[in-house]
Amino acid sequence: MNSPEKETKAQYGFVNVERRKYPRLNIDIPIEYYRIDEPAGSRGRTLNISEGGLLIYSSERMEIGQRLRLRLFLNMVSELSSIELLSEVVWVEIRIDKDLGDYRTGVRFVDISPDDMTQLKNFLIRFS
């Protein structure tokens, strides 16, 4: 006795899977960054930040794997405060839009004090 076999059809489509551990918040904040081997810092901006990293717009090209000290200026309810942390460059992209900077650089946070992490989390909660 032959049983009819079900024909299966392939399913096609796109799936957008978020690979980041922490959700990103689109917000424009000023930053200062310092290369580990240089005492003088530079200024930049970020339009994208999370508990684990951020996107830097700058006029300087960074190298993947390079460590940067960052100072983020957070506009809290009635005051401007800053936090400091150590980060590592994970990707670099050349930009054409000179208004924000010649380079977009993605960094992940490597070392941040518990107090500064709490301050960052509170800041992100406030704007999410």
The token pair that represents 96 in the structure block:
């054409």
Identify which has the larger pLDDT, 21 or 105: 105
The Cα 37–Cα 95 span in angstroms is: 25
Kindly report the average pLDDT of the chain as a whole number.
Answer: 82
Range of the domain at 94: 29-123
CATH number at residue 112: 2.40.10.220
* Res. 17 pLDDT band, cuts 50 70 90: very low
User: Has residue 67 been placed in a domain?
Assistant: yes
Angle at 37 between CA 20 and CA 49, to 5 degrees: 25
User: Has residue 16 been placed in a domain?
Assistant: no
Q: What is the reported pLDDT for 24?
A: 83
Least confident of 12-16, 34-38, 98-102, 114-118: 12-16
User: Has residue 1 been placed in a domain?
Assistant: no
User: Has residue 100 been placed in a domain?
Assistant: yes
Q: What is the reported pLDDT for 18?
A: 47
User: Has residue 4 been placed in a domain?
Assistant: no
User: Has residue 3 been placed in a domain?
Assistant: no
Q: Are 65 and 88 in contact (CB under 8 A)?
A: yes
Contacts of 47 (CB under 8 A, 6+ apart): 26, 27, 28, 55, 57, 100
Least confident of 10-24, 60-74, 103-117: 10-24
Q: What is the reported pLDDT for 87?
A: 97
User: Has residue 6 been placed in a domain?
Assistant: no
Q: Does residue 57 sit in helix, strand or coil? A: strand
User: Has residue 9 been placed in a domain?
Assistant: no
Identify which has the larger pLDDT, 21 or 29: 29
pTM value is 0.76
- Give the number of domains in the chain: 1
Tell me, rounded to whole angstroms, the distance of Cα 74 from its chain centroid. 15
Q: What is the reported pLDDT for 36?
A: 86
Q: What is the reported pLDDT for 71?
A: 95
